[in-house]
Chain A
Amino acid sequence: SYELTQPPSVSVSPGQTASITCSADKLGDKYASWYQQKPGQSPVLVIYQDVKRPSGIPERFSGSNSGNTATLTISGTQAMDEADYFCQAWDITTAVFFGGGTKLTVL
């Protein structure tokens, strides 16, 4: 199977930039998506097709994907951005894979 690896946790100060990585073999050859999940809620799509933001997602959320690593960047991080973040990719075998998740702490 295809494994997506994320750091378990990332900490950032309010107003600073947070970067969350997702690594896998040749991930740059696939589309990566990112989801935000707050406790007790369903995941919310924040980035798709590597760099696109759905309607309603703040501009401070951005993404990139190259080589073996996709990155979610949150510029000017706010307290409301504290959540778990999951990356997701689709494999040619028509299977969907998720990363293990990264807990973002804003302190």
Chain B
Amino acid sequence: QVQLQQSGPGLVKPSQTLSLTCAISGDSVSSKSAAWNWIRQSPSRGLEWLGRTFYRSKWYSDYAVSVKSRITINPDTSKNQFSLQLNSVTPEDTAVYFCAREPTTPNFDYWGQGTLVTVSS
């Protein structure tokens, strides 16, 4: 059974960097049959896919156009986890952030518990 455990601060100041981690159990971040995603949800924007990282003989990352200039998603093979960094945050980045596994089919079959991140001074 795959489990995703999120960690990270719930409060970030404007202009600073939002950082979250998703620890994987029951699968490997280096799996060649999965991708590891970050998705956020807010009342104003609904569910919004942010990006993913995956390994197919080398590492790849894809990012949503809306955040492409500010986002980095990195794997950490030593800890079997992956991380999200979102730079230069504003109050509009306030949302519940989820990590999720994407199998070879384009959907999300396992989700983390969600982390409410508030951007406020």
CB within 8 Å of A: which B25-53 residues: 37, 46-49
Structural contact, A42 and B105, CB atoms closer than 8 A: no
Partner of A54, one of B62, B65, B109: B109
CB contacts between A and B, total, < 8 Å: 52
A95 to B62, CA, bound (A): 8
Q: Which residues of A are found within 8 Å of B106, using beta-carbon distances?
A: 31, 33, 89-90, 96
* Interface residues on chain B, number (Cβ under 8 Å): 18
Extra contacts besides A33-B106, A42-B98 (18): CB < 8 Å: A1-B65, A31-B105, A31-B107, A43-B108, A43-B111, A45-B107, A48-B107, A48-B109, A49-B107, A86-B47, A89-B106, A90-B106, A95-B49, A95-B62, A96-B64, A98-B49, A99-B46, A101-B46
A to B CB contacts below 8 Å, 14 in the list: A1-B65, A31-B105, A33-B107, A42-B98, A42-B113, A43-B108, A45-B107, A54-B109, A88-B107, A94-B62, A95-B62, A96-B64, A99-B46, A101-B46
